[in-house]
């Protein structure tokens, strides 16, 4: 039996990836003591690795597909095919310094810079014409200043950790989020290509579903046109006559963010018995 080799990240982005795969139908049984999770799809074999290692392993063909942060694709200069930006675990890669080094002061000395990102940091510092020594860190980069480093180059989500350590962002270097990537040679294999496309379709259907809801309502005849005219939808709404020909039952898929304004408007126009449903998957 042919197998598609999948690598799943451990650490911060692991939970969102595993939840996504489970929602897509790839049931994953993860044992905390094992790096080999079990899947309900026997055509897929998987392994859990650090996201830092995943881009190069996928490039080299140790794994056919995987999930990792865009920052690590850039950092490792991995030649992989990006199938999809999943849009979660969004972070900024930033340069930050203590307050006493804000302004031109950072150009008047040789800086000790701490970062997990050697390549990203080096490119940024060279392009900025900084005089620096780079220290490679292995987590907890924010604790280095001010005693052990003058600047950090690190990822930031909310900025709370930087604030707790009295660090100030002087520049955003790049944005990053979780990506679904593939080995280029795997995409040339007909069987693997088809399997990857199936995974992509199922994953996309879950992501699309998370952004939409189904609204169902009863609409009296006299307000039908007014209600229909305000309904945004993926396609035309589903309309069925109510018993006794008193009006219509209407179903429509809408963006989740629209609901907060749409439901009060529909009620005001005369729609009744409005129900909201969650989707599991949306396949367009």
- The segment with the largest mean pLDDT, out of 24-28, 71-75, 109-113, 257-261, is 71-75
Q: Per the domain annotation, does 243 fall within a domain? A: yes
Q: What is the pLDDT of residues 153-162, one digit of tens each?
A: 999 988 888 9
Residue with tokens 């392993």: 57
Predicted local confidence at residue 279, as pLDDT: 87
Average pLDDT value for residue range 24-37: 82
Are residue 72 and residue 60 in the same domain, yes or no? yes
Query: Considering 117, 151, 176, which residue would you say is the last residue of a domain?
Result: 176
Note whether residue 259 is domain-resident. yes
Question: How is residue 228 written in tokens?
Answer: 């229909």
Distances (CA, A) of 260 to 82, 144, 227, 257, 267: 34, 45, 16, 7, 12
Do 106 and 166 lie in one domain? The reply is yes
The domain containing residue 265 runs over which residues?
Answer: 212-278
Same-domain pairing of 123 and 153: yes
pLDDT at residue 173 tops 90: yes
**CATH assignment at residue 142:** 3.40.190.10
Q: Does residue 283 form part of some domain?
A: no
Residue 234 has pLDDT above 80, yes or no: no
Total tally of structural domains belonging to the chain: 3
pTM, to two decimals: 0.86
Tell whether 284 is covered by a domain. Answer: no
């Amino acid at each position: 039996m042919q197998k598609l080799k999948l690598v799943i990240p451990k650490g911060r982005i692991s939970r969102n990836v595993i939840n996504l795969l489970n929602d897509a139908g790839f049931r994953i049984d993860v044992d905390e003591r094992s790096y080999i999770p079990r899947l309900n799809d026997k055509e897929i074999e998987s392994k859990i690795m650090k996201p830092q290692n995943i881009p190069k392993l996928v490039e080299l063909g140790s794994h056919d597909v995987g999930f990792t942060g865009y920052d690590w694709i850039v950092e490792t200069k991995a030649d992989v095919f990006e199938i999809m930006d999943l849009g979660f675990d969004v972070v900024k890669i930033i340069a930050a310094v203590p307050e006493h080094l804000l302004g031109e002061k950072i150009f008047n000395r040789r800086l000790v810079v701490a970062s997990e990102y050697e390549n990203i940091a080096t490119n940024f510092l060279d392009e900025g014409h900084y005089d620096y020594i780079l220290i490679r860190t292995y987590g907890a980069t924010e604790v280095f200043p001010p005693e052990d480093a003058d600047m950090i180059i690190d990822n930031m989500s909310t900025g709370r950790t930087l604030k707790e350590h009295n660090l100030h962002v002087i520049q955003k270097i790049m944005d990053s989020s979780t990506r679904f990537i593939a080995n280029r040679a795997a995409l040339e294999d007909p069987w693997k290509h088809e399997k990857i496309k199936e995974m992509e379709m199922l994953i996309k259907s879950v992501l699309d579903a998370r952004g939409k809801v189904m609204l169902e309502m009863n609409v009296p005849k006299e307000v039908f046109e007014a209600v229909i005219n305000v309904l945004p939808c993926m396609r035309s709404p589903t309309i069925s006559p109510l018993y006794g020909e008193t009006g219509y039952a209407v179903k429509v898929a809408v963006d989740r963010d629209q609901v907060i304004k749409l439901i009060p408007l529909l009620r005001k126009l005369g729609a009744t018995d409005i129900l909201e449903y969650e989707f599991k998957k949306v396949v367009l």
